[in-house]
Structure 1
Amino acid sequence: MENIKHIIDSIDPEINLTLDEIPNIDLYMDQVIQLFENKFNESKRNQEEKILTKTMINNYAKGKLIFPIQNKKYSKEHLILMSLIYQLKGGLSINDIKATFSGINKKIMNGDIDLDAFYKIYLHLSSLNAADFKVDIEEREKDVKQGISDLSGEDGDYLEHVLMILSLVHKSNLYRRAAERLVDEIVAVNEGKNRKL
C-alpha cells in the first residue's frame, strides 16, 4: 500500500476557513460561494463536486441552520456557521446539524457568544485532530500489513486496500455514532426531557 502516504499527503486534514480569510464585510451569495470554492477546492473528490451552491445556502437559511440574513448579504458570523456546516455535513444529517446549531444561532442573535473565540477553539481542535489522523493512519497501515501477511498471492495489495477501507470506515462510523448521541442529548434538553447538558 505504497500510495497510502500519497493519499495522506493529498488530504489536507486542517483545511478550514481561518478567521483571517473571512472578510469583516458582508458578502453577497455569489461572493460566499466563490470564497468557499477557492478555499475548499482541493478537498473535492472530483471536479464535478460542488462545495457550496445557491440551493445549499438557501436550504441552510430555510432550514434555520443559520440565523436570518440581512439585505441579501452574509456576515462574518454566517460564514463561520457555513464553514462549520461544511465540516459537519459529511458526518451528520441536516436535521442533526440544525439541532446542534439551534442554540448557537440563538446566542448569536442575542449577542451571547463570542463566535470568533468559539471558532478559534474549533480550529485548534481541528489542528489536533489532523495530527492524530496522520499518526493513526500510519499505525493502521502497519496493523493491516501485519494482519494480511499470512494471506499470500497476487491479491495481497487489493486485500490490504479493502482492509484499510473497512478499518477507516468503521472508525468513522464510531465517531459519527458518538456525535449523533451528543446531538440526541441536545435534542433531549431542548425538548425538556433533560434539564442540563
Structure 2
Amino acid sequence: MGEIEKIMRELDVDSQLELEDIPNLDLYMDQVIQLFENKFKDAKRTGEEKILTKTMINNYAKGKLFFPIRNKKYTKEHLILISLIYQLKGALSINDIKALLSPMNEKVTENEIDLEEVYGGYLQLAAQNAAAFKEDLQVRAAAAEQQQLPEVLLTASLVHMSNLYRRAAEKLVDRLEQK
C-alpha cells in the first residue's frame, strides 16, 4: 500500500488551475504557458514533457476551441477554457472537445453564462473526483495484491476504468451534438 500512496502523491490529483490562480489582467501567450507550466509541473511524466506550447495554443485557436483573442492577449475566460481543454485532451479528441465547448463559447461571447461560475462547478466536481479516485485506487490496489502479478492486474484494471469513463464521456458528447 505504501507504493500506491507514493504514486498518488506523485500524481498530484488535487492540482487544478484555481480561479484565484488566474490573474485579472490579460496575458500574452508566453505568460499563459508559464502559468500552466508552473501550475502543472508535478503532473509531468518526464522532465522534458511540455504542459502547454505555443503550437498547442495556436492549434486550439485555429480549431476554434475558444473564442478569438484580442491584441495577442488572453483573458481570464481564455485561461479557463485552456484549462478545460488541458483536462479534456487526455481523454477526448480535439473534435469532441470542440463539440463540447462550442455551445459554451457561444454563450460566453453572448454574455448568457458566467464562465467563472461554470468553472467553479467543474472545480468542485474535480475535487470530489480526486477524493473518490484516491479511495478507489486504494481498494483496487488491495484487491490486486491478493492476486498473482498485482502490478499487471492493477494497471489493466485502471486502464479498463479509464476506457469506461472515456467511452461514457464520448457518449455524452455524441448526445450533445445530436441536440
Normalising by the residue count of structure 1, what TM-score does the alignment of the two structures yield?
Answer: 0.89
Residue of structure 2 in register with 1:131 after alignment: 131
Task: State the alpha-carbon separation in 2 of the partners of residues 9 and 26 from structure 1.
Answer: 33
Of residues 168, 171, 174, the one that matches 2:161 is 171
The 2-side partners of 1:142 and 1:84 are apart by: 32
- How do residues 88-99 of structure 1 correspond to structure 2 at under 5 angstroms? 88-99=88-99
> What amino acid sits opposite 2:96 in the alignment?
D
Deviation at 1:49, TM superposition (A): 0.7
Measured against aligned partners, the alpha-carbon deviations of 1:130-154 in whole angstroms (never above 9, x if no partner) come to 11011000100111122x1xx4xxx
How is 1:108-119 mapped onto 2 (pairs within 5 angstroms)? Answer: 108-119=108-119
Aligned residue in 2 for 1:192: none
**What do you get for the CA RMSD once the two structures are aligned?**
0.9
Distance 1:15 1:83 in 2: 12
Q: Structure 1 unaligned runs (5+)?
A: 152-158, 190-197
The answer for the alignment partner of 1:50 in structure 2 is 50
Corresponding residue for residue 107 of structure 1: 107
Looking at structure 2, the residues matched to 19 and 5 of structure 1 have their Cα atoms a distance apart, in angstroms, of 28
Residue 188 (str. 1) matches residue 178 (str. 2):
yes
User: How many aligned positions are there?
Assistant: 179
Q: What's the offset of the Cα at 1:9?
A: 1.6
Q: Give the match's secondary structure for 1:24.
A: coil
Distance in 2, Cα, partners of 1:171 & 1:31? 36
- In percent, how many aligned pairs have the same letter? 61
Does the residue aligned with 1:66 lie in a helix, a strand or coil?
A: coil
Q: Cα deviations across residues 31-66 of structure 1 (Å, max 9, x unaligned)?
A: 000000000001000011110000000000000001
Q: Deviations over 1:73-126 (max 9, x none)?
A: 000000000000000000101110000000011011101111111111100001
User: Could you tell me how far apart the structure 2 residues matched to 1:169 and 1:2 are?
Assistant: 21
- Extract unaligned runs of 5+ from structure 2: none
Point out 4+ residue stretches in structure 1 off by more than 2 angstroms: none
Q: Tell me which of 140, 150, 160 is aligned to 1:160.
A: 150
